[in-house]
A and B are shown apart, each in its own frame.
Chain A
């Protein structure tokens, strides 16, 4: 049973470009969470999704950031017009049912904005 798969592992973008981060949850998991980790910081919750639904986006910046979890395929975290402050590690986690289950984390995508 493969774990949570994230790709790419490393992503380099220039200011103003778009970044797309992908996350495939563990098999049998229908709940996906995205977190951002700045250097020397803990993870900050961004968004919680179920298939075709955004359940909680209270941690998402109001502009440039969006997330989706379509019926088929991975969850996507999209950052438009990236700025240097977007440089961080972005982690995806999944859980089998409600958000009160253990969240299993992927290896993360490290985004560097030049």
Chain B
């Protein structure tokens, strides 16, 4: 069974600071997704990472993937209040037979002024 673990699960930080969210997964996967969810809202796609060493950046967010370590990171640079949300990583199982995404429990990020 594919397991996806995120840490930390809760993060409170001040504006202007940098921090990293980690996503570990338990078995081979050929793609990893990062989503953002605001309270009571749907999930917004942030990044899709397809290969080892992939790095993508959008504004203050940067995501990377190490398939050998089965680890993805989401790095936040100079955080601003608008980035407060829950961030999920999700993995597509590449072993066949299961077509849905497996999600981590999410990281609740609160950015304080």
Contact = CB atoms under 8 A, between A and B. Distances in A.
Interface of A: 4, 33, 35, 40-48, 55-56, 58-59, 91, 99-100, 102-108
Contacts, number: 65
Contacts of A107: 41-42
- Chain B residues touching A, majority SS: strand
Contact of B43 (A45, A47, A105): A105
B105 A41 contact: yes
Interface stretch (B63-71, B77-85, B91-99): B91-99
Contacts of A4: 42
28 contacts: A33-B99, A33-B100, A33-B101, A35-B100, A40-B106, A41-B105, A42-B4, A42-B88, A42-B104, A43-B43, A43-B101, A43-B103, A45-B100, A45-B102, A46-B100, A47-B100, A48-B99, A58-B97, A58-B98, A91-B42, A91-B43, A99-B99, A100-B30, A100-B92, A102-B45, A105-B35, A107-B41, A108-B42
B25 interface: no
Contacts of B45: 102-105
Contacts of B99: 33, 48, 55-56, 99
Contacts of B35: 105
A77 to B, nearest CB: 14
Interface of B: 4, 30-31, 33, 35, 41-45, 48, 88, 90, 92, 97-106
Nearest to B30: A100
A96 to B, nearest CB: 13
A33 to B, nearest CB: 6
A2 B92 CA distance: 26
Contacts of B31: 100
Contacts of A58: 97-98, 100
A16 to B, nearest CB: 27
A105 B90 CA distance: 13
